[in-house]
Structures are given as C-alpha cells and as structure tokens.
Amino acid sequence: MKLGTVVTVIGGIFLQVALFSLSVEPVAAQGLRTPSAEEIIRRLTPRLAPDDLRSNAVSVEGARRPQNAGESGAVAPPASIDLQVNFEYASATLTTDARLVLDNLGQALADPSLSSSRFSVAGHTDARGSDVYNLNLSRQRARSVADYLIRQHKISAQRLSIEGYGRQRLLDNANPQSAVNRRVQITNLGS
C-alpha cells in the first residue's frame, strides 16, 4: 500500500468516526446545549394536572386547593428547566457562553405568555468542596443570573426569587462531581 492510500483510508475512518459522534449525542451532552427562547417558554409554561383536562369537572365555590392541583388534588409538577450556565472557575462571574444562555432566558421571561409569572432562580453545584462553600457559591451564582436578567433584559426583581442548594440536589447522584450537577434551575412559581 502506498502512503497516499494509507492517508485516505485513515482519513476516511476518521471522517466516519467524526460523523458518527455527531449523529449520536451522548446523554450527558444533551443538557449542555443552549435551549432557544421558544424551548424555554415551552418548558416554563405551567402544565395542567390530569383532572384539569376533564370537560365535566365541577368545582366547589370557596374550596381551596393547591394552585396547580387538579380536581382530585393531583398536583402537576412545577414547570421548570435546568440550564447549563457557565461561570469562571470558583466564582460567580458569568462567561460569554453563560450570557448566550441567559439572553435566551431573558427573551423567554419577557414573552407575554410568561410576563405575569414569578420565577425561582436556583443555583446548584457538584460535590467538590465543602457544604458551606458550595451553598454560598450556588447562592452567589443564582444572584449573578438574576442580576444579569434584571440589568440586561429589564426583568423586574420582584419576579425573581433567589435560592442556592449547593450540592444538596444532585442530578446525577452516581457521579456527584459530574458537570451535569452544576446548573441553574428556573422554576415557574405562578403569578
């Protein structure tokens, strides 16, 4: 075999591997993409409880039930989205990538379909570092996200509630130091 043939074969194999890796997105990488404003709106729009879909549902005047509960008391899960918001190492300083994600979030929160809702901005970390350190860092990062939304997208501060959970609510308990655990969760709290 000549050198040119070897390079062509190796190049062809490399191209096949590259194309395969593009066509099969790993589960962990799926959460790393930047969702569009439209996708964020869809994810943050409250869902109905199963009983709310019944056309013959009867309500009792004066009866109290949770805001997102159906007739039988079934509660629909709150509308929320986990966003991969990148910060500089061990800080609450937003990166350029983070601003792209937050610009889409800002557009979504300003959309008329969500403009009357309040939102929780919750920071989460992985399991590296102490509980106290991670809790403080997650709160600082949630505050940084809220400040950006207020400053850049004119989202009212009264619409945003800041929370930090540190490493208390890992997405991947089997891999506590995984990057998927470092996220900002936005939850629709209703109007």
Report pLDDT digits (tens) over 114-172.
999 999 999 999 999 999 999 999 999 999 999 999 999 999 999 999 999 999 999 99
CB-based burial label for 30 (10 Å; 0-12, 13-18, 19+): exposed
Residue 167 in contact with residue 134, Cβ under 8 Å?
yes
Q: List helix spans (H) across 68-130.
A: 96-110
Q: How far apart are CA 136 and CA 151, in angstroms?
A: 22
Running DSSP on this structure, what letter comes out for residue 48? P
Per-residue pLDDT reduced to its tens digit, 31-89: 457 999 999 999 999 986 555 555 555 555 554 555 555 555 566 788 999 999 999 98
CATH superfamily entry for domain 34-45+73-191: OmpA-like domain (3.30.1330.60)
pTM score, two decimals? 0.71
pLDDT at 50: 56
Q: How far apart are CA 114 and CA 157, in angstroms?
A: 15
